[in-house]
Amino acid sequence: MPSDVRLIAIDIDGTLLPSSGTTISRRNCRALREAQAAGLHIVIATGRRHQYAEPVLEQVGLSPHTVMISSNGSVVRDFDGELIGRTLLPVETARSLCPALRPFGQTMVFTFDREHQPSLVVESMASLHLRIGAWVEANRHEMVEIAPLERAFDHDEAPIQAMLCGNIAQVRAAQQALEGMALAADITMQRTEYAERNLGILDLLPPGCSKGHALRDYARSVGLEASEVMAIGDNFNDQTMLEYAGQAAVMGNAGEEMRRLAVQHGWAIIQSNDDDGVAEALEPIIHSVPTRRALTHSSRPEPQVSLTRKS
C-alpha cells in the first residue's frame, strides 16, 4: 500500500460486516480505531440510511466526529448526527417513479431524512417482507404503508432516495426499463446484488449522487487529493468510490463481475469479509504512519477541515 494514504473510505455490508450477523470482528474494530488514532481520516460509506447504520457502528468505538456517507451518497453526516451535506430527489421525479416501477412489484421504498416520524414509506409491507424479511423486521418501527405510493408526496416533501428490490433478474430488468425512459435523466441508479440470496437492490438517487461524488467532495473539504484516498468495497454501489480513490481494494467475497472489474482497473483484491479483509488492508498503512510523519512533518501541515453545512 502507498505511504501517502490519509483517508480511508469503507463500506459496511459485505465489507466491514461478516456474511452473517451484525458483529464486526475484533480485528476490524481494532484496526479502525488504531487508524483513526494514528491521524488517518476514516469515512464510512454505505447504502444504509444513517439511522440504520448507527447501531452497527457503535460497537467499533470511533470518534463521534467520524464522517458517514449514507444512502449511497445522498446524505453526509458526522456520527453524532451533524449534517454536512444532503441532496434531495425532486418530488415530481419521485412521484413519476411510482407508475414507472409498479410493473416490477410492490417492493419500492422511499426514504425521507426525518427525525421525528417514520422515514420509510412503502406501498405493501407484505410484498417487501417476502423479499427482504430481515430488513423489514429491523426497520419496521421506521416504516409506514401508503397506497397508492404516489400519495406519499401529497405534502410535497422530497425524499432522499427510492429503492426497489427483487430477484437479480427483476432488478436488472427494472434498471434497463428505466434507462429507456426520459425519467433516467433525472435520477442516478446504483445497483447492489447478492448472488447467494438471488437478491437485487436498485437505489434511485438524485442526479449526480453516489458514494464516489460524496467521497470526492469530503476529501476536498479537508484538503486531500484522490491520490491520498483509499476506498474499500465489495459491490456495484461501491464502484464510483473505488474509481475515484487513488488506491482501491475489493473484498475477496465480491461477486465475479466486481472481481473482474478489480483486475481491469488494477485494484487490490483482499481477504473476504469473513477473514478480516478490512484489517488486512488497514494494518500496513497504520504501521507506516509514524515513519511517514517523521519524513513529512516539517514540510507538510495537517489538513484543516472547513466544511459548508447544508440543510
What would the pLDDT profile of 24-38 be if each residue is shown by its tens digit?
999 999 999 999 999
For the chain, give the number of residues.
Answer: 311
Is residue 132 within 8 Å of residue 120, measured between CB atoms?
no
Are the beta carbons of 258 and 250 closer than 8 angstroms?
A: yes
Percent of the chain with pLDDT over 70: 92
DSSP state of 24: P
Fold classified for 7-86+209-296: Rossmann fold (3.40.50)
pLDDT digits (tens, 9 = 90+) for 100-119: 999 998 899 999 999 888 99
Give the dihedral of Cα atoms 170, 173, 174, 179; nearest 10 deg: 160
Instruction: Compute CA distances 21 → 24, 93, 230, whole Å.
Output: 9, 36, 26
- Categorize the per-residue pLDDT at 209 as very low, low, confident or very high, splitting at 50, 70 and 90: very high
- pLDDT above 70 (res 185): yes
The pLDDT confidence band at residue 68, using thresholds 50, 70 and 90, is very high
* Residue matched to cell numbers 424479511: 133
Strand 161-166 versus strand 199-205 pairing type: antiparallel
The residues of the chain that CATH labels 3.40.50.1000 are 7-86+209-296
**Cell numbers placing 123:** 406501498
Does 291 score more than 80 pLDDT? no
pLDDT of residue 116: 82
User: Distance between CA atoms of 205 and 25, rounded to whole angstroms?
Assistant: 31
Residue 115: per-residue pLDDT:
82
Residue 188 has pLDDT above 60, yes or no: yes
Element (H, E) at 47: none
pLDDT band at 301 (very low <50, low <70, confident <90, very high): very low
pLDDT at position 297 is 39
Range 246-280 burial, b when 16+ CB lie within 10 A, else e: bbbbbbbbbbeebbebbeeeebeebbbbeebbbbb
- The 3-state DSSP class for residue 217 equals helix
First to last CA, the chain: 37
Q: Rounded mean pLDDT of 120-136?
A: 93
Beta strands (DSSP E) in the chain are 7-10, 41-45, 67-70, 75-78, 83-86, 108-111, 120-122, 143-145, 161-166, 188-194, 199-205, 229-233, 247-250, 268-269
Residues of the chain with CATH 3.30.1240.10: 91-205
Overall average pLDDT of the 222-227 stretch: 97
Q: 91-205: what fold?
A: 3.30.1240
Provide the pairing of β-strand 108-111 with 83-86. Answer: unpaired
Residues paired with 267 in a beta bridge: none
Bridge-based pairing of strands 143-145 and 7-10 is unpaired
| Alpha carbons 2 and 40: distance in angstroms, whole number | 13
